[in-house]
Every structure is written in structure tokens, then in C-alpha cells.
Amino acid sequence: MTIIKQGGVSSKGHQNNLRKYINDDRKVLLRDSLNMEECHNLRRWASYMERTRKTFGHDKSARKVRDKKTGELVQSKNTTMFHQILGFNPDECDINGGKLTPEDCMRYAKEYAQKYYPNQQIVFALHNEYCKADKTHRYAVHMVINRTDLSTGKRLDEGRGVSAKVRRAKRIREMDGKWGLKQVERDERNSTVHKKQPSKVEKEIEGRGGKSYKKNLRELCRIAAERAGNIYEYREMLEGWGVDTQFRKGKLYVTDKDNNRYSFSLAKLDADLNQNGLENKFLDNVGAAIEAKGAAVLAERAAAKAERERIASLKERYLASIKKTYIDYRKMAHQMKGTKLEEFPKLKFKRPPEEIAGDQDVKRTMLAYWRGGDELRVKMASEVPYTRKPKGSGAAGGSSSQPSRAQQSIEKGSRETEHKADR
């Protein structure tokens, strides 16, 4: 079953973080939109949606609440947008052998949005999400839904609490059924490639001696901080482990979904996980990832250098072997002097290894040896049907019977090698 999550966006800081996340080209594979035809630069979606809200008077909250300290009526928090995430089952994604391509996932998301939010302005961003814990991938479509209904002029009301979540989950079950996707089975592992994260985390917690739900919650928050690269990854990780996260007055609160009676300010739950502490951990994690990537690059370069050296050594050995073959052929040719040309064997070499078969030096050297061998064969053989008549030394184009400089060098080197061997 496709997993659906939703969060409300009510603060400028949250909106800015969301905008940066949605516009991050390093992570986004596909983009699309709904009812955004006049937004010619889709990266400006946040400003475009804001103008729509101002036009309909939705830039401020419609309700007032009484301040608990002063007792005065003040403007309540204004939820401007909803951030929904459609996380597809890793088994269904083509990167794990499934049938869903990124284009399929985007069509699914647009079909879902057109059915349930036909009059809302929506931007879509499809990510290839990577789980560091078990090194698996899946596709997820992030949807930013502007609350203004373009048809009615009213604000979209998704409702709150469990009933709203159940309603959205029901919609997805119906969509999955239509698309022929697998359904989630209660208390069963529903992905063969993606492990159930809480079980692994729980083992880590047990290893650290955590027992109470508050200690467990603190440990979950610490473990996520050791792995995430930004606040969105952090929150998504905790949500996957059964921890609800919410921003209230600029502070992040966490709640154990299995024991949701109490929620805790993250900074109070663990002083090291305040805003600065989290940012420092994210930077450290990103730095560690960069270092790991750098180490991988260095290892790749070392492997490439080793490969170049191996091929150079292979080339050197092969050139030495064909030189020896040529020298041996010369000795044989002199011994077979007077043999009929048709019975006189030609110079042959072993086929060069595949890695150096296309090397120009190897080709040129082999060709020079072959030419030298052919000239020597004609010279030593009898009953040669033709002879090359040398031209005068002053004739244009030079003498056709004169060997090339390369051949002369080969002949000289071969004779020297032969003399050394005779001594």
C-alpha cells in the first residue's frame, strides 16, 4: 500500500524550509503542477500561491482565540498550505524490480489530486528517497496544496485527528486497488527490500539500556539526529518510526504515537537537540557523507591508476614477446634460405590481449615487424615470382627496396640481440 502523510504549514520558517526542499534539484526527479498554468516559473510557486491567498483573504486566520496569559482575543495560527507525501512501497518501484516508474508515480499522484483536490493549486515533486539504515530506495511524491479553493473561494478543511488520517488512508487504498498495487497486511512485513525500521532502532535502544517510553522517545530522536542531513529527513525518519512531529511557536515537539498522551519539546527532551544542536548534527552528517564520497573518489582514482599500470605492464610484456617472436623468425628464415616461397612460412604473432588490441603503438609495432618479416621471407626464399628493382638514389620518391626507419630499427635491434645470443 502507498503511504500517505500530511502536515500543515502555518509559519514563514516552515514555508521557507518547504520551498527549499521542493525546489532542491539535487533530489527532485520529476516536477508537475495543478491549476498553476499562469505560474510561468514553477520555482516561484510559493509566491504565486501567496498572491492567491491574499486575493481571497486567506493570508490571515479567520478565527480569533483568547490568549491564555493576557485573556485578549488574538489571531489564531493560520495554516496556509498542506504538505502531503505519497510514499510508494519499495517493492512496487522499478529500482527494486517493481512495475512503477517515476512517471507512473507522478501520474498516480496527479490522478489522486485531480480526484480529491480538483480546485486547489498544487505543486508536485517526485524524489528518489534513500534509507541510510538499510540502503534501500523508493519513490515519493511531495505535494504542496494551497488551501484556497478556486471554485468556492473557501479554505480547504482536511479535518484533524484520527478520522482525517483514516479518510485519507481509505482514499489511497481505493487508488491502490484501481492501480493493482499491494495492500498492507497488519503485523506483517510489507516490503521485501525495506526493513521495518522500528525493529532495528528498538534493538539499538535495548543495547543502550532504554526502557521507558520517554527514554525510548529520546533515543529515537538521538538516533535520527545521527543519520539525517536536514530537518525534513529528520522528521520523515521519526514519522517512519512512529513518532509524530509538530512545530509550535518555532519549537519542534515530538510525540510517541503508541503513547500520545504527552508530547515533549525536543530541546527539553534532550538539550543537545535544540535548534543549534540539530543544525550542527546535520552539518556533521553532511560533512561525513562528503568525506565518504571523497574517499570513494580517491579509491576510484587509485583503482584507475592501478588499472593503467596493469595495462602498461601488459603492453610492455606483449611487445617484448612479439619482438622475441620476430627474432626467432629471423633465425629460422636464415636457416631455411633457398626454400620455395610457397613453402616458406609467414611471420605470425599471438593475438594481443583485448585491453591493448586497439593500442596504436601496438598496431604500428606489429605492422613494422610483419613488413620486416615479409621482406626477409622474399629475400631468403627461392622461386620468387617477382623482384623489386631498386631505383636510383636520386630518383623522386626514394628507393622502394629501402626499409623504413622503423624497420631499420627493428632489423638493427634484432641483429644486436642475435649477436649477444651467439656470444
Residue 80 domain flag: yes
- Flag whether pLDDT at 391 surpasses 90: no
Average the pLDDT over 186-195 and give the result.
Answer: 62
- Flag whether pLDDT at 394 surpasses 50: no
DSSP string, 279-329: HHHHHHHHHHHHHHHHHHHHHHHHHHHHHHHHHHHHHHHHHHHHHHHHHHH
Long-range CB pairs of 175-179 (<8 Å, 24+ gap) are 175/2, 175/108, 175/111, 175/112, 176/1, 176/2, 179/108
- Flag whether pLDDT at 187 surpasses 70: no
| Residues 12 and 159 both lie in one domain | yes
* Spatial separation of the C-alpha atoms in residues 63 and 309, rounded to whole Å: 74
Sheet holding 243-248, edge to edge: 243-248, 251-256, 264-265
* Spatial separation of the C-alpha atoms in residues 178 and 180, rounded to whole Å: 6
Contact yes or no for 256/216 (Cβ under 8 A): yes
* Spatial separation of the C-alpha atoms in residues 323 and 369, rounded to whole Å: 8
**E strands, 135-291, where?**
136-146, 243-248, 251-256, 264-265
The pLDDT-based confidence of 269 (bands split at 50, 70, 90) is confident
Give the pLDDT score at 127. 94
Lowest mean pLDDT among 192-201, 223-232, 396-405: 396-405
The pLDDT-based confidence of 352 (bands split at 50, 70, 90) is very high
Residue where one domain finishes, among candidates 136, 169, 191: 191
Lowest mean pLDDT among 70-74, 89-93, 124-128, 375-379: 70-74
The pLDDT-based confidence of 348 (bands split at 50, 70, 90) is very high
State percent of the chain over pLDDT 90: 52
Q: What is the pLDDT of residues 212-234, one digit of tens each?
A: 667 788 889 999 999 998 999 99
Q: Which residue in 379, 369, 423, 368 sits closest to 401, CA to CA?
A: 379
Residue 305 domain flag: no
pTM recorded for the entire structure? 0.50
Query: What is the number of structural domains in the chain?
Result: 2
Residue 269 domain flag: no
Residues near 31 by beta carbon (within 8 Å), at least 6 away in sequence: 42, 123, 124, 125, 126
* Spatial separation of the C-alpha atoms in residues 58 and 10, rounded to whole Å: 12
The pLDDT-based confidence of 400 (bands split at 50, 70, 90) is very low
* Spatial separation of the C-alpha atoms in residues 423 and 406, rounded to whole Å: 26
- Flag whether pLDDT at 314 surpasses 70: yes
Q: Fill in the DSSP letter of residue 38.
A: T
- Flag whether pLDDT at 402 surpasses 80: no
CA triple 188-239-136, angle to 5 deg:
65
Question: In terms of C-beta density within 10 A (0-12 exposed, 13-18 middle, 19 or more buried), how is residue 125 classed?
Answer: buried
* Spatial separation of the C-alpha atoms in residues 303 and 296, rounded to whole Å: 10
Contact yes or no for 139/127 (Cβ under 8 A): yes
Q: Who wins on pLDDT, 388 or 172?
A: 172
Give the pLDDT score at 142. 96
Q: Which residues pair with 142 in a beta bridge?
A: 85, 125
Q: Who wins on pLDDT, 121 or 294?
A: 121
- Flag whether pLDDT at 397 surpasses 80: no
Residue 284 domain flag: no
The pLDDT-based confidence of 401 (bands split at 50, 70, 90) is very low
Residue 246 domain flag: no
Give the pLDDT score at 73. 73
Give the pLDDT score at 46. 95
Contact yes or no for 52/46 (Cβ under 8 A): no
Domain range for 377 is 325-390+399-422
**Cell matching residue 19:** 520551498
* Spatial separation of the C-alpha atoms in residues 253 and 246, rounded to whole Å: 5
Residue 273 domain flag: no
Total residue length of the chain: 423
Q: What is the pLDDT of residues 132-141, one digit of tens each?
A: 666 788 999 9
**Cell matching residue 348:** 605470425
Residue 304 domain flag: no
What's the chain's average pLDDT?
A: 84
The pLDDT-based confidence of 421 (bands split at 50, 70, 90) is very low
* Spatial separation of the C-alpha atoms in residues 20 and 13, rounded to whole Å: 11
Question: In terms of C-beta density within 10 A (0-12 exposed, 13-18 middle, 19 or more buried), how is residue 182 classed?
Answer: middle
Q: Which residues pair with 74 in a beta bridge?
A: 65
Lowest mean pLDDT among 28-37, 144-153, 382-391: 382-391
Q: What is the pLDDT of residues 295-311, one digit of tens each?
A: 888 888 889 989 999 99
Q: Which residue in 94, 282, 101 sits closest to 193, CA to CA?
A: 94
- Flag whether pLDDT at 210 surpasses 60: no
Question: In terms of C-beta density within 10 A (0-12 exposed, 13-18 middle, 19 or more buried), how is residue 269 classed?
Answer: middle
Average the pLDDT over 140-154 and give the result.
Answer: 95
CATH of the domain at 90: 3.30.930
Lowest mean pLDDT among 316-330, 344-358, 374-388: 374-388
Residue where one domain finishes, among candidates 191, 212, 234: 191
Give the pLDDT score at 201. 46
Residues near 95 by beta carbon (within 8 Å), at least 6 away in sequence: 128, 137, 138, 139
Q: What is the pLDDT of residues 12-53, one digit of tens each?
A: 889 999 999 999 988 899 999 999 999 999 999 999 999 999
Give the pLDDT score at 423. 45
Residue 83 domain flag: yes
Residue where one domain finishes, among candidates 191, 206, 232: 191
